[in-house]
Amino acid sequence: MVRSAENLRICLVASAGGHTTQLLKLADSWSGHETFCITTTEVVKVKLQKYGKVYTVGECNREHPLRVIRVATKCISVITRERPDVVISTGAAVGCITCFWGWLSGAKVVWLDSITNVDRISLSGRMVRYIADVFLVQWPELAKKYSNVEYLGAVI
């Protein structure tokens, strides 16, 4: 899946709001690679545009299972079409869905759990932890509490 000696194709995925703010703090990490984005609302499209094509899939959370299915279908179709080598996400539900589908399609997974998760990792993060190649948290206490998570500092 990974194209060696070439630029990687990277899917950047974050819900609107703070998740997107935190994703953009990581911009230095993917420069030089080919990127595209998945987000939840049109409002943030403009912030992500410089990192390639932006797919807007709609908001969803666990309380609206039907909406989750609709959004998941869109994420799956984007991933199937774009076939990224890596998925980088800062959450939330849309990030989780995309990470799992990307992983099933052979992509590597990088997750940065949102800084709002002070005492425990987010529900999405707790699931993605099992498939992530790199899993980063933003509070040192969380790295002590969970295995296979790294704390290197906060992005905000």
Partner 1 sequence: MIFLTVGTLFPFDRLVRAIDEAFDKGLIDEELFAQIGESSYKPRNFESVASLAKGLFDERLKQASGVIGHAGVGTIAIAIDNNKPLLVMPRLRKHNEHVNDHQVAIARKFSELGHILVADDVEDLPDGIRRLKNFVPKERIAAPSTVADRIRRFLNSLRD
Residues in contact with partner 1 by the rule CB under 8 A: 2, 4-6, 8, 10, 16-22, 25-30, 33, 41, 43, 46-47, 61, 63, 85-86, 88, 108, 110, 112, 114-119, 133-134, 136, 139, 150, 152-156
CB of 55 to partner 1, least distance (A): 18
Closer by beta carbon to partner 1, 23 or else 76:
23
Token representation of residue 146: 């969970």
Longest distance between any two alpha carbons in the chain, whole Å: 43
Q: Which amino acid is at 95?
A: G
CB of 81 to partner 1, least distance (A): 21
Exposure string of 14-52, with b = 16+ CB inside 10 Å and e = fewer, is: bbbbbbbbbbbebeeebeebbbbbbbbeeebeebbeebb
Q: How far is CA 21 from CA 14, 38, 90, 146, in A?
A: 9, 14, 9, 25
Closer by beta carbon to partner 1, 14 or else 79:
14
CB of 70 to partner 1, least distance (A): 17
CB of 117 to partner 1, least distance (A): 7
Closer by beta carbon to partner 1, 27 or else 77:
27
Closer by beta carbon to partner 1, 27 or else 69:
27
Closer by beta carbon to partner 1, 62 or else 77:
62
- Sign for the pseudo-dihedral over CA of 41, 107, 19, 37: negative
CB of 118 to partner 1, least distance (A): 5
Token representation of residue 82: 């774009």
Contact 111, 89 (CB under 8 A): yes
